[in-house]
Structure 1
Amino acid sequence: MSWLKSFLLVLMGSVLVACASQQPTYDDSAFKQADPGSILILPPVNNTPEVMAPYSVMAQAATPIAEAGFYVFPVALVNQTFRNNGLTVAQDIQQVPVPKLREIFGADAALYMTIERYGTSYVVVSSETRVTVAASLIDLRTGQQLWQGKATASSAENQANANNNLLGMLIQAAVSQVFETVTDRGFDITALATSRLLSAKNKHGLRFGPRSPHYQQEAAQHGQ
């Protein structure tokens, strides 16, 4: 049986190496070199039929960025500034030249977002609210991309499949759909999606900014 045990160990090792090679990597050298201290959140492009999606995403995105240690320009002020300059469409705003954004706001970087999915869907025996957001961070001083990512969150993640009969599943799905529609569950799911996308605590999120204690600790370690 020793040969079988050795074979299994080799096989397990091969699988682990294969999984490790497929693990996505994140090169944050450009981010660290640029070292932005302030971030401007641009109105997201909405590729969904939900009219409230951009407001939900833009509002929720500010929290994880601020918690990561960056100064975040107030989203209401940013929106009003664009409106005062005749810009009300997200696609047009995201086409504004980088030097112009830098001139108007004085921010170090800007966050460009696209909402790929937002809302509640009902499919026979399931009701789900799903939000998917993609984003990239651009250095307003150089135009260089410092980071990019994509994240999804769903209300179905915590739903237990406890019902053993079709009728029970249909009733649960119907109740869930009504609840998620009436309470605008999308706002809560957006908070989870933007946290996964932007939080510096996540492996592929933003790096810590200069206002974070983690940033200071890293700087101290590198300085020693």
Structure 2
Amino acid sequence: MKNIQLFAALVLAIMLTGCVTAPTAMDYTAFKQSNPKSILVLPPINHTTEIIAPYGVLANVTVPLAEAGYYVFPVALVDETFKNNGLTVAEDIHAVPSKKLGEIFGADAVMYIEVQEYGTSYAILSSDTVVVVQAKLVDNKTNEILWQGSARAASSEQNSDNSNGFGVVGMLVEAAVTQIFETALDTGFEIAGIASARLLSPEAHNGLLYGPRSPKHGKEKSKQ
């Protein structure tokens, strides 16, 4: 009887182990072969109701890219070039072939960004500002995807202690006040900076590789 129970426990353990999947590792083969030196960041496509969402994200993504060791085309210059060519909508800009973008700007790769969430929401007992972004890096010559990922950041991560000592009524008031202040001060801009860093930092899991301008270029041991 004990042998049967032991066998059953062993089978159950194996089944449970099989259900646990390890995080998928990014394949950097194409990225390393392409070895881009310059990146053209396109205006983000906005899937939220916040008009300022793409601007808040776009203003934050250039810093982690530059810090990672890449030349990033100035946002103002890129925007003006698109306007001069009659392109003012992000969806239309994303539809332009990457090879054509490479010919116009001379960039090695193009960064496509989409904003999935941006802004402050009220949820009865709490109020939270959330930013969710996803992106992909495409080689201008081959149109091959070199890298892609997504990241999320929230103001609640910085204010994990929601206890104010005034019970449910106090929590309701606090949530309402938080929403007003975070909306008025555009906390989304700050949170977008955190999300952008998580998305693009070479130190992040499945993040970008270091660029040629970084002393760490080509020295990532953990990224195959």
TM-score by length of 1: 0.88
The aligned counterpart of 1:119 is 119
Q: Larger helix proportion, structure 1 or 2?
A: 1
1 CA distance for matches of 2:95 and 2:63?
25
Contact 2:110 2:137 in 1 (8 A): yes
Separation in structure 1 between the aligned mates of residue 140 and residue 99 of structure 2, nearest angstrom: 6
1:23 aligns with: 23
- Structure 2 match to 1:222: none
CA deviation profile, 1:135-171 (whole Å, cap 9, x unmatched): 1100001100001111111111122122351012112
Secondary structure in 2 matching 1:119: strand
What is the one-letter code of the residue matched to 1:199?
S
Quick one: distance in 1 between partners of 2:145 and 2:65?
17
| Distance across 2 between alignment mates of 1:47 and 1:18 | 33
Report the aligned-residue RMSD. 2.6
Residue type of the alignment partner of 1:147: W
> Per the alignment, in what secondary structure is the counterpart of residue 180 of structure 2?
helix
CA distance 1:163–1:145, shift in 2 (3 Å): same
Partners in 1 of 2:117 and 2:55 — Cα distance? 14
Q: How does 1:144-159 map to 2 (within 5 A)?
A: 144-159=144-159
In the TM superposition, 1:83-122 aligns within 5 A as: 83-122=83-122
Find the counterpart in structure 2 of residue 140 from structure 1. 140
Runs of 4+ in structure 1 deviating by more than 2 angstroms, as ranges, are: 11-19, 216-219
Cα distance change on mapping 1:218 and 1:198 into 2, 3 Å: closer
CA distance in 1, matches of 2:139, 2:200: 16
Alpha-carbon distance in 2 for matches of 1:156, 1:216: 36
Q: Distance in 1 between matches of 2:19 and 2:30?
A: 28
Cα offset, 1:124, TM superposition: 1.0
Amino acid at match of 1:184: D
C-alpha change, 1:167 and 1:218, in structure 2 (3 Å) is: closer
Percent identity over the alignment is 52
Deviation at 1:212?
0.7
Would you say 1:204 and 2:213 are equivalent positions? Answer: no
TM-score using structure 2 length: 0.88
Partner-residue secondary structure (3-state), 2:150: strand
Alpha-carbon distance in structure 2 between the residues aligned to 1:149 and 1:78: 23
Q: What is residue 213 of structure 1 aligned with on the other side? A: 215
Aligned pair in 2 of structure 1 residues 15, 152: CA closer, same or farther (>3 Å)? Answer: same
